[in-house]
Amino acid sequence: MSAIIKQHSASPDAAALVADQPLVTGGLDFGGITEKVSGIVERKTPKAWWLAFSLAASVLLMLVGSIGWLVYEGVGIWGLNNPVGWGWDIVNFVFWVGIGHAGTLISAILFLMRQRWRTAINRFAEAMTIVAVICALMFPAIHVGRIWVLHWFFPVPNQMSMWPNFRSPLLWDFFAVGTYFTVSTIFWYVGLIPDLATLRDRAKTRARQIVFGILSLGWRGGNRQWRHYELVYLMLAGLATPLVLSVHSIVSTDFATSLIPGWHTTIFPPYFVAGAIFSGFGMVMTLALIARKIFKLEDIITIGHLEKMNKVMLVTGSMVGYAYISEFFMAWYSGNIYEAFTFVNRAFGNYAWAYWIMFLCNVVTPQLFWFKKIRTSIPVMFVISIFVNIGMWFERFVIIVTSLARDFLPSSWGYYAPSKWDIMIFIGSFGLFFTLFLLFLRFLPMISMTEIKGVMPEADPHAHGHDGHAAEAAGGEA
């Protein structure tokens, strides 16, 4: 027995984590976690959900209508012009893909780093990723104009004997984002299987038994299943980690491989990835604060979790700020007059208003998180998370539009403003996002019950002790 005790004291990280900041508060035990999380999807639909869902679905309807008109009439209904051939469509694409990144960061990278606090937020951050990537994929699909020949993206033999251009970053994007969507979805689903089995076993009606019975694939929670399951989950995390870092890097090559001043820079891949994680955490924070309040999850998503997320935002926000400043430095240091002009124009030209909104939201506001009072104040962090969302949308707008609007020859300069269709499709994409996300909240467990139970102190097989000694040792440590 003493060997076990030694082993236990030799790994003080878990014990210390449990000792100074419990991951689950409110005295919940295993059964309490099941009841709390499953209860949400089993109770009668709350009125607030119906209200939110009807609003989101109405906005989604606007999106469907706008896209219908877009397909019928063509991309001419947007505010695009010469020289600004990429407008809100691509801004929104990059915005939504970026938001997805936080979910994968939380589910994969924090998993590999053994950050056990991730268990409270990983499930719905992953769901947010999938929904955000659906919104993102919509934009390149509709911006091609002739949406009915979209399958030309795929490398499939066809009657024209034509193949896609594998040297184009636009095709890389298709593969990167497509893979990202597929892998995120299966990662999320694999994580869901044990929880779906919990819902199956609690089902009161025949319909729920059948639906959750099929979805849970016959999961029995035996260790002969767990051992394969746990290893594949680790492998998926290992695959998703380089994937998430690559996706936004590849999105950034859409810009970086071109010759446009302001786009043609090597800083783009890391700068885009940091921005993506920053914006994604902003969105996770916004959603988590609302869900936590409505579904009374304060014992599971504790203030400690929120504070850690704010620290991530502080770090990634600082990276983004550093990137903005080093872009300016490089524009001057390169001695390239086009590059220098582009950056002076961003900050003081026609679009200076957008630049300074971006700068204030992304660089100045996250710095407030240096103060513990602010990191732990829910109203303040809610407001800051909204600012981050706004700021990161403007970042993409600034990068794309200001660079295109000032072509090399002043005779080709232009100014871009969105049309009402651009605006309706952008707002409509939030309708799509919230409709799908609300369906997830209503029908699937939004918190991973299995993983939460696994990080509770009583889940450690040596916590209670088999003969009392280990329990004493654990007590002594605490």
Partner 1 sequence: MKTLAILADFGTPGALLHAAEKVRTAGYRAFDCHSPFAIHGMDAAMGLGRSPIGYIVGGMALLGASIGYGLQTWVTTTAYPIIISGKPLYSWQAYIIVTFALFVLFGALGGVIGMLRLNRLPRLHHPLFYSERFGRVTDNAFMVSIEAGDPLFDETGTRDFLSSIGGTNIELVKGD
Return the residues of window 5-34 that contact partner 1 according to CB under 8 A. Answer: 29-31, 34
Asked whether position 218 contacts partner 1 by CB under 8 A, the answer is: yes
Nearer to partner 1, 220 or 372 (CB): 220
DSSP one-letter code for 145:
S
> Near partner 1 by CB under 8 A, which window of 49-57, 92-100, 226-234, 351-359?
226-234
Minimum Å gap between C-beta 466 and partner 1 is 5
Kindly state whether residue 81 participates in binding partner 1, applying the rule CB under 8 A.
Answer: no
Contact with partner 1 (CB under 8 A) among 5, 465, 473, 474: 465
The number of beta carbons lying within 10 Å of the beta carbon of residue 184 is 26
Within positions 101 to 160, which residues make up the interface with partner 1, using CB under 8 A? 155
Give the binding range for partner 1 (CB under 8 A) out of 103-111, 222-230, 310-318, 423-431: 222-230
- Residue 329 amino acid letter: F
3-class DSSP state of 181: helix
458 binds partner 1 (CB under 8 A): yes
Residue 224 makes contact with partner 1 by CB under 8 A: yes
Min CB(181)–partner 1 separation in Å: 10
How many residues sit close enough to partner 1 to count as binding (CB under 8 A)?
72
Can you point out the beta strands (E) in 19-123? none
Contact status: 363 vs partner 1 (CB under 8 A): no
186 belongs to the binding site for partner 1 (CB under 8 A): yes
- Token pair, residue 27, equals 């005295």
| Residue 457 contacts partner 1 per CB under 8 A | no
State whether residue 407 is helix, strand or coil: coil
Distance of alpha carbon 385 from alpha carbon 414, whole angstroms: 33
User: Would you say 70 and 142 are in contact if contact means Cβ atoms under 8 Å apart?
Assistant: yes
Candidate list 115, 463, 469, 477; residue touching partner 1; CB under 8 A: 463
Q: Binding to partner 1 (CB under 8 A): which residues in 195-214?
A: 197-198, 200-202, 213-214
Q: Which stretch binds partner 1 (CB under 8 A): 20-28, 99-107, 400-408, 459-467?
A: 459-467
Omega before 242 within 30 of 0, i.e. cis: no
* 230 touches partner 1 by CB under 8 A: yes
CA distance 227 to 245: 28
353 touches 330 (CB < 8 A): no
The two three-digit tokens of residue 403, written as one number: 């660079």
412-451 residues in contact with partner 1 (CB under 8 A) are 449-451
Q: Establish how many alpha carbons lie within 13 A of residue 33's alpha carbon, considering only the half-sphere containing its beta carbon.
A: 24
Half-sphere exposure of 203 (CA within 13 A, CB side): 20
